[in-house]
Structures are given as structure tokens and as C-alpha cells.
Amino acid sequence: MSTSARSGYHHGDLRAALLTTAMQMLENGEAFSLRAVARNAGVSATAPYRHFPDRDALESALAVQGFGDLEHDLTSGRDLPTSTADLAEFGVAYVDFALRRPALFRLMFGKPCDGSDDERVRAADAVHELLARALANVAPRSDTTALACAGWSLAHGLASLHLDGKLPADSPEEVAERVRSAFLAITTARGTP
């Protein structure tokens, strides 16, 4: 390890330093391993193993952080939705998060949650519960479990379609308008016999 890398590591929270470094590498499109993260964080190659037994554990910790960041984006500057239009804005925030942080978004949802990883399961559940509370606020007499699944599926599907280039858009405003229109179309559609 170089002297400059070692001198860059001054604080005592190794886990946080490793997560910050791994997140930067992930979001910059750099392939990372525990060794590469250690090198970029300026610590020994074995230091990450004190906190992460393997790369999967590090990725899971990044996913936990991602779910927390997503929950923050969904709630920042807004109350729980009280209308369909407010609910559509949750969808806009969700899709915006995916498009701003695509590598993290894919990591968060790229693998099934491992029931043995309580922290990751709780983090994913917190986002789902937020959506369920939002839907209960907008449609209190509805099946919020089914609605939460439908709402999450719609937002996640739109995010994935945009990320995969299936729904091109020239601007974030165009994406936001597409998300709003989709949410409003679904919530105002009436079935026909």
C-alpha cells in the first residue's frame, strides 16, 4: 500500500470508510473486490474481512445503504401522499433514484433478499412499508398489500424500462411526466364488462 493511500485513512470507522469507497467504485462503474476496496480505502488487503466475510456481504451492506437512501429520497421534503397525484410523485422519486444511481439500484434489486441477512431484509421492508402507509393514506378502504405490490411494480417497471433503454426520454422532466401519466392512468382506469 502506498504511503499516500495509508495517510488518507485517518478516522477510526473502518466499516464506513470501506462502504464509502465501495459505493464510489460501484457508482463510477469500477469493478470491485474486497482487495480493490481495501486498496482504494488505503488499508491492508485483510482489513475489510473484519467487517465483511466476502463480497456478497459488502454488496448486501451497500444495498442496505441504498434502500435507506431511496427511503430518504421518497420522504424528503414531502408528507405522506394524500392524493393520487401525490402518490405519483412517490413514483417519480423512485424512478429518479434509479436513473441517478443505476449501478446501486441494480445491486439493490439484482438478487433476492437473503432471509438470513436481517439488515437487508429490514431495509427493503422499510421501503415497502412506506409505500403501504402511503397507499393506506390515499385509499384507506383498499387492500393496501395488493396496492403496494402494484404501485411498487409500476414504479420499478418504469425505472427498469428506462434503465434498459426501452423507454427513451430526452430529459428528466419527460421521464417524470411519463411516470405521473402512468400512475394517473392506472388509478383512474375503469374496467369494462
- Which CATH homologous superfamily contains domain 55-188? Tetracycline Repressor, domain 2 (1.10.357.10)
How confident is the model over 113-142, as a mean pLDDT? 84
The percentage of the chain sitting over the pLDDT mark of 70, rounded to a whole number, equals: 89
Domain with CATH 1.10.357.10 in the chain: 55-188
How confident is the model over 129-154, as a mean pLDDT? 87
3-state DSSP of 24-68: HHHHCCCCCCHHHHHHHHCCCCCHHHHCCCCHHHHHHHHHHHHHH
**Whole-structure pTM value:** 0.86
| Cβ 48 vs Cβ 59: under 8 Å | no
Residue 121 pLDDT class (50, 70, 90 cuts): confident
* Neighbour tally for 58: CB within 10 Å: 21
42-86 pLDDT per residue, tens = 999 999 999 999 999 999 999 999 999 999 999 998 889 989 899
Contacts of 154 (CB under 8 A, 6+ apart): 91, 182, 183, 186
Q: What is the pLDDT of residue 190?
A: 61
Question: Angle at which helices 144-163 and 102-109 pack, to 10 degrees?
Answer: 130
Q: What is the pLDDT of residue 106?
A: 95
Q: What is the pLDDT of residue 105?
A: 96
Mean pLDDT across the chain: 87
How confident is the model over 161-178, as a mean pLDDT? 93
Helix runs in 76-192, H state only: 84-100, 102-109, 118-138, 144-163, 172-188
